[in-house]
Amino acid sequence: MSINSEMTTTTHTTATRSVESTIPVGAIFAPGTVLDLSGPLAGGVIVQDDTIAPLAPWSARLRAGQVLTIVDVGGNQSADFLVYNADDTDERYSVPDTLAWQGNAYLRDGSVLRSNTGRALMTVVGNEIDRQDTIGGACSKESNTLRYGFHTEHQHGCRENFLAEAARHGLGARDLVSNINWFMNVPVEQDGALGIVDGISGPGKRVAIRADMDVLVLISNCPQMNNPCNDFNCTPLRAIITEADGTATA
């Protein structure tokens, strides 16, 4: 994906000074952006169907057996993702357990998302891109200023989205753990270094994850506008929950 080479400069006023930035306040997708809402990647009755606005958080509770399809509506838009045991949120997604059990740093079709007790929280039952990131982490106001400069200090990140959405379920900062980044391309180089580079997804690409127990899912539609992971063009996501056996109630 090409990166826009011409950007207008905007002046932002911070608590201490005024600075110029090429990152607009509240930036969303540009006019003419290709958007593909697609549809569920799993069969069954649709019991919930939401559009997650650019820069926004989202959450839902899934019963065991239900499937969540996440649609990359505009292409290469990271869906930062956390999952908890809905009945005991002290049990939550664990990167070390997930990677150790599967012996791979990426998620693909059939990958099992393990909890900090080693149990299966969810399983990837459909996936339309080569690999899904587990190690890139979540952006935040602090990491933005460290990586990109203090002109970004007015921007919120995925951590702030997670905190806002977690609070709706009685969770706080101590409950945030390392997350999954659906649709973000984070290659591991030969020297072990990580990169955040142009994506390998596209409009309408999907991933589907089945709940293996009752789970609480949090998603941050990544507000990051300072690296090429989404071509500096934040687009919507679509979250569709299906009931495989057709017995669900709305």
Identity (one letter) of the amino acid at 127?
A: N
**187 and 133 in contact (C-beta within 8 Å)?**
no
pTM above 0.85, yes or no: no
- Quote the CA–CA distance of 152 and 112 in Å, as a whole number: 36
H helices of the chain, in order, are 95-102, 141-148, 158-167
- What is the DSSP code (8-state) at residue 245? T
Q: Domain segments of the chain: what residues?
A: 28-243
Q: What is the pLDDT along the chain (250 residues), one digit of tens a residue?
A: 223 334 445 554 444 445 444 444 445 688 899 999 999 999 999 999 999 998 899 999 999 999 999 999 999 999 999 999 999 999 999 999 999 999 888 899 999 999 999 999 999 999 999 889 888 777 766 666 666 666 667 667 888 899 999 999 999 999 999 999 999 887 777 776 666 666 789 999 999 999 999 999 999 998 877 777 777 888 999 999 999 764 444 3
- Quote the CA–CA distance of 166 and 151 in Å, as a whole number: 27
